[in-house]
Amino acid sequence: MNRIRFIVKRLDKMIIALCATLLLFSQSLIGQTTVAYKNSAEAIQTAQNNKQYLFLLFYDTKGESLKAMESTVNDFRNKTSEDTLFYKALTTDEKENDTIAKYGINRAPLPVLLIFAPNGAITGGFPKEVSMDLLKKCIVDNLIMDVLKTVQAEKIALVLLQNSKTKFNNESSKAAEEFSNDSKLKGYVDIIKADPSDPKNSDFLNSSKLSKDITEATVVFIVPPGSIRGVYKGKITKDTLMVALSACSSGSGSGCCPK
């Protein structure tokens, strides 16, 4: 999936290679109004409550890199139709220590920009510099947003593509439910239903190499950090999905299964 792989690639660099991800803040900008929050957690929650994209810029000292990134973000926000917030975060603020420790911000090259979707999923992470084109790619459709939130929580995402025109909807849904309710997997699987004919899901379908005109219910099996382990159409069962899990745990998909 090109969009998810792009995002995961960026996150790998931030979370794995650079050991960075998430937020700090000192001020927030909403239009021309400056609003103060008591800590970063409150800022994140507010953005999610308001269904907004959050642009979080973390820094320790002021400089040209910080100025350039802030300028690019503001230019993007002025041009996008999405509802967005922008926050600058000073990493030396003691009230943000818990967030810094949780997401490894203190090990990241600063300044660092992170983008959060309205559901809290991280759609991009950029140290030192960022471009308008990269920011555009961080605005994703709801389906990709939901998948990202699931895999970032180290859970398996089962995307159920079906509508009134697809066959074997009941069988496909039953297989997914039984799989997610397995005693060894309960709490580690999210089922995400989506209509393949909805234009809003086209990015996901294109990335998965699937047509919007599918005739049979389809399950896309996605594991952390964002890899497709299988696409299963028609009359499937729980065992069909367990095969994908077995392949994952056998070593061909290291790190993709619930721990």
Q: Is the pLDDT of residue 30 over 60?
A: no
What percent of the chain has a predicted confidence (pLDDT) above 70? 81
Q: Quote the longest CA-to-CA distance of the chain.
A: 59
Query: Using N-to-C axis directions, what is the helix angle for 2-11 and 142-152, rounded to 10°?
Result: 40
Would the pLDDT of 208 be above 70? Answer: yes
Task: Answer yes or no: is pLDDT of 96 > 90.
Answer: no
User: For 142-248, which CATH class?
Assistant: alpha beta
Q: What is the pLDDT of residues 226-251, one digit of tens each?
A: 999 999 999 999 999 999 898 776 55
Is a pLDDT exceeding 50 seen at residue 20?
A: no
Evaluate if residue 58 carries a pLDDT over 80: yes
Q: What is the pTM of this model?
A: 0.81
d(CA 137, CA 123): 8
Beta strands of 67-111 (E only): which ranges?
84-90
Cα Rg of the chain (Å, integer):
20
Peptide bond into 109 cis (omega under 30): no
Angle at 153 (CA atoms; ends 149, 158), nearest 5 degrees: 65
At residue 26 the predicted structure's pLDDT band, cuts being 50, 70 and 90, is very low
In this predicted model, what pLDDT tens digit does every residue of 111-139 receive, in sequence order?
989 899 999 999 998 999 999 999 999 99
Question: What's the rounded Cα separation, in Å, for the pair 45 and 118?
Answer: 10
Q: Are 138 and 200 in contact, with CB atoms under 8 Å apart? A: no
Is the separation of the CB atoms in 3 and 140 below 8 Å?
Answer: yes
Is it true that 2-137 and 142-248 share their CATH fold? yes
Q: Answer whether the bond into residue 196 is a cis peptide, omega within 30°.
A: no
> Does 81 have pLDDT greater than 60?
yes
Question: Higher pLDDT residue, 251 or 167?
Answer: 167
Q: Where are the domains of the chain?
A: 2-137, 142-248
pLDDT at position 119 is: 95
- Listed in sequence order, the residues at least 6 apart from 81 whose beta carbon sits closer than 8 Å to its beta carbon are none
Q: What would the CATH number be for the domain defined by 2-137?
A: 3.40.30.10
